[in-house]
Amino acid sequence: MAGLSEDGPSESHPGRELFDPGPWLRAQSDHVVELAGLCADLGRLDERLHRGPAGWRQRLALAEAVGLSWWAGDRIGAEQLSLWQAARLSGPDEDALGLARAGWALRRLSSGPEPAADPGLFLERAGAGDPGTSDPIADDLAEVLEGTEGLHPVVAAARLFHLWKRRGPVGPAAMIEAAVLAMRVARPRPIGVEQGLIFLPLARRSTLALTSSGPPSNRLAAWLQQAHQAVRSALSETDRLLSWEEIVRQRVEPRPGGSLDAVIHLLRDWPLVSAPMAEAQTGSSRATVQRHLALLEAQGLTREASGQDRYRIWSAAFID
């Protein structure tokens, strides 16, 4: 693999050990119980996304993109990414490259081509300002995935992540690229399937899986542990969203297809919503969306998250 470094703190050649599928196969056998538990909950989350609103996948992907941004050092918040992605709005002092990297991660985790089918197309935005790269991406990916037929996709993705990080220069774009690529490879999508879970949740609660070191067994253990925690968190969030929307509709009884209904959908599909974002997404006037947000806040159904009199941001108020 071009650019793969074999230098590192562990004895011998850690790059070779990571590249060799043998240690990963042994690690997979050692952690088969943990892998089975993760896959069971992944199946539950996939089924829920199949049945639930289309915006849920975007909401879960946004949480992952924010986690990756903080891990990579860009530190883009959910409110910044939501506003930029939904309405292409950003503050004058915000990091344009950081937003672009987080936005690319969000788009690739919520949609886009399969990585193995066309790696160049999949990764074209990951450079965030460096479109002239001539790296043989397709050859490198094929080399990494070669000989891994015995590995479960989740395990193959963990191996891919740790190898891809060693490819080329280190920086936020390369870090996010490696993580997003692995998260998508972990959940290959059948041809023609456009719904359900298309990535492995990993970074919404912690970056343990992305910072682990040592032999493949240690790295895989951290990968499975953190992925399972992220999947359970996502399942819990969808449970709360279902309960919240049911309560909202009982209390305010919005007209189907009306502007209040559209604002409710927006709060369900995005973790944070501002008035300019709601205006752009719903097509309603600023006064109308502000009136709806004030109504929902008065009912205790939303929570104002900024603590400011201007540039206010709302989120769904989950009721226990």
* Domain co-membership, 157 together with 99: yes
* Domain co-membership, 130 together with 50: yes
54 vs 239: which has the higher pLDDT: 239
* Residue owning tokens 């011998």: 12
* Domain co-membership, 39 together with 177: yes
Pairing of strands 313-316, 273-274: antiparallel
* Domain co-membership, 59 together with 127: yes
The whole-number pLDDT of residue 116 equals 84
Q: What is the rounded average pLDDT of the residues 25-50?
A: 96
Q: Around Cβ 117, how many Cβ atoms within 10 Å?
A: 12
Q: Which two tokens stand for residue 89?
A: 């709005």
Q: Around Cβ 268, how many Cβ atoms within 10 Å?
A: 19
**Residue 255 DSSP one-character state:** P
Residue 311 Cα distances to 91, 196, 286, 308, angstroms? 11, 34, 13, 7
* Domain co-membership, 185 together with 217: yes
* Residue owning tokens 């693999």: 1
Of the residues 229, 245, 263, the one at which a domain ends: 229
* Domain co-membership, 106 together with 215: yes
pLDDT over 70 for what percent of the chain? 87
Q: Which ranges of 52-130 would DSSP assign to H, the alpha helix?
A: 55-72, 78-87, 96-110, 119-123
CATH of residue 309: 1.10.10.10
Segment holding 302, helix H or strand E: strand 302-304
Q: Is the pLDDT of residue 14 over 60?
A: no
Within a domain: residue 57?
Answer: yes
Q: Which residues contact 149 (CB under 8 A, 6 or more apart)?
A: none
Burial 234-260 (b: 16+ CB within 10 A, else e): bbebbeebeebbebbeeeeebeeeebb
Q: Is the pLDDT of residue 151 over 50?
A: yes
- Phi/psi region, residue 128 (left: phi>0; alpha: psi -120 to 50; beta: rest), is left
Q: Which pLDDT tens digit goes with each residue over 194-234?
A: 678 999 999 998 888 999 999 999 999 999 999 999 999 99
Within a domain: residue 234?
Answer: no
pLDDT grade for 96, boundaries at 50, 70 and 90:
confident
Q: What is the rounded average pLDDT of the residues 14-36?
A: 90
Q: Which pLDDT tens digit goes with each residue over 188-205?
A: 876 666 678 999 999 998
* Domain co-membership, 20 together with 135: yes
The whole-number pLDDT of residue 85 equals 82
The whole-number pLDDT of residue 6 equals 38
Within a domain: residue 292?
Answer: yes
d(CA 106, CA 218): 28
Q: What is the pTM of this model?
A: 0.87
d(CA 216, CA 120): 27
Rounded to 5 degrees, what are φ and ψ at 35?
Answer: -65, -40
| CB-based contact 39:154 (threshold 8 Å) | yes
Which residue type occupies 265?
H
* Domain co-membership, 287 together with 186: no
Q: Which two tokens stand for residue 247?
A: 């309560």
Of the residues 229, 262, 278, the one at which a domain ends: 229
The whole-number pLDDT of residue 122 equals 87
* Domain co-membership, 180 together with 259: no
* Domain co-membership, 221 together with 172: yes
Within a domain: residue 176?
Answer: yes
Within a domain: residue 311?
Answer: yes
* Domain co-membership, 82 together with 211: yes
Within a domain: residue 206?
Answer: yes
| CB-based contact 30:224 (threshold 8 Å) | no
Q: Is 99 helix (H, G, I), strand (E, B) or coil?
A: helix
| CB-based contact 318:240 (threshold 8 Å) | yes
Q: Is 304 helix (H, G, I), strand (E, B) or coil?
A: strand
**Residue 273 DSSP one-character state:** E
Q: Which pLDDT tens digit goes with each residue over 268-307?
A: 999 999 998 899 899 999 999 999 999 999 999 999 988 8
* Domain co-membership, 202 together with 281: no
Domain of residue 282 covers 253-316
What's the domain count of the chain? Answer: 2
Q: Is 181 helix (H, G, I), strand (E, B) or coil?
A: helix
232 vs 147: which has the higher pLDDT: 232
Within a domain: residue 265?
Answer: yes
